[in-house]
Structure 1
Amino acid sequence: MSYQVIVLNGGSSSGKSRLARELQKVLPGAWLSLSVDDLVDAMPPALVDGGDGIGFGDQGEVSVGDDFRALETAWMAGIAAMVRAGAQVVLDDVFLSGARSQARVRTQLEGLNVLWVGVRCAPEIAAARELARGDRTPGMAELQAEVVHEGVHYDLEVDTGTTESPECARAVAARVTS
């Protein structure tokens, strides 16, 4: 099977972005790296931290409203269109609703060859990374570490807390090229 999309799902600070960059180094061909953070960064300020967009609570909780969901659907349709036009994409995502989130993404990517990769990291390691980064709401990494994987089905899982990103990337690349 020739994969067109690699979906990396894991909590905040689990190592998805670093893994995506490492994958770009080891995968054959040109792979675009896109992240749900790109979507959030592109949203108008009125939809970040309030309203029907996306909000971040003081304890690290994340809430999403109808406007965010509508933009997320359009975003995913755009990614799927790029793939259908010939691009290969590594998608870095956070399935806040576990299996329901995967179902939404799966619907948008229907008909494409997708490799589903769970990116795990112990909550305490993710929390330490979050603290070192300084650009996340404290508590987000620990809250998301396990819940994003609930009910999600993967083709492959990696643990960036016990294995370095280049080695995780080689494991994913081996699956892609096998």
Structure 2
Amino acid sequence: MIVLNGASSSGKSTLGRALQDRLPGTWLLYGVDDLVRALPPRLTSPEGIEFSEDGQVRVGPAFRAAEKAWMQGVAHTARCGVNVIIDDVFLGGPAAQARWQEALLDLRVLCVGVHCQPEVGEAREQARGDRVTGMHRQQAQIVHQGVQYDLEVDSAASTPAALAQLVVARLNHP
């Protein structure tokens, strides 16, 4: 298991795809965006998940219940022998990491912090067109505060392939 944590538009998904290209065997890439897309539209509410115009994200109890089930499902996939890369945004910092640690308790996990400068993240948000402008800036610090990593990378400092090589090297030599 590889868990990638970083703010929205920090380069996690791109790194995940580069890892899939570089790592041998089958590696499935699951992102928190997949969970959000799977939610019924009625859960875009205080009970589920809300995205404010300034880029803040708030989650409620219905989202947390769905998230817990999703995490357990992803962990079960890994327990069935399929390699997994997680692309997540630890909005709750160490509490979010603890939820993954609970789900992945008996699995070998490499936790990677993915960073980039706020202006780079904002430019990516605008280029993508499917993000609220300001989301990266809102999340850039809070998603990393108090989180313990095995490796941290700057997605603006190198190519996805080079960053993937760093992650693979760390995976092979813990």
TM above 0.5, one fold? yes
Aligned length: 173
**Please, what TM-score do these two structures have when normalized by structure 1?**
0.95
1:121 correspondence with 2:116: yes
Partner Cα separation in structure 2 for residue 64 and residue 78 of structure 1: 20
Question: 2 CA distance for matches of 1:86 and 1:162?
Answer: 33
* Alignment-derived partner of residue 40 in structure 1: 36
The alpha carbon displacement at 1:42 in A equals 0.4
> What are the superposed Cα offsets for residues 107-148 of structure 1, whole Å, 9 maximum, x if unpaired?
111010000000011111101111111110111011111110
Q: Give the one of 88, 94, 110 matched to 2:105.
A: 110
Is 1:88 the equivalent of 2:83?
Answer: yes
Query: Where in structure 1 do 4 or more consecutive aligned residues deviate above 4 Å?
Result: none
For residues 175 and 43 of structure 1, the distance between their equivalents in structure 2, rounded to whole angstroms, comes to 34
Aligned residue runs from structure 1 range 123-138, under 5 A: 123-138=118-133
Q: 1:51 deviation in Å?
A: 3.2
Q: Secondary structure at the match of 1:146?
A: coil
How far apart in 2 are the matches of 1:109 and 1:144?
24
**Following the alignment from structure 1 to structure 2, what is the Cα–Cα distance between the partners of residues 12 and 26?**
23
Q: What's the RMSD between the two structures over aligned residues?
A: 0.7
Residue 135 of structure 2 corresponds to: 140
How many angstroms does 1:55 deviate by? 0.4
1:103 and 1:38 map into 2 onto residues whose CA distance is 20
What 5-or-longer segments of structure 1 have no aligned partner? none
User: Residue 12 of structure 1 aligns with which residue?
Assistant: 8
Percent of aligned positions with the same letter in both sequences?
54
The answer to whether the aligner puts 1:62 opposite 2:57 as a matched pair is yes
User: In the alignment, does 2:75 pair up with 1:101?
Assistant: no
Taking the aligned partners of 2:123 and 2:80, their CA distance within structure 1 comes to: 40
**Residue segments in structure 2 that go unaligned for 5+ positions in a row:** none
Aligned-partner residue type, residue 41 of structure 2: P
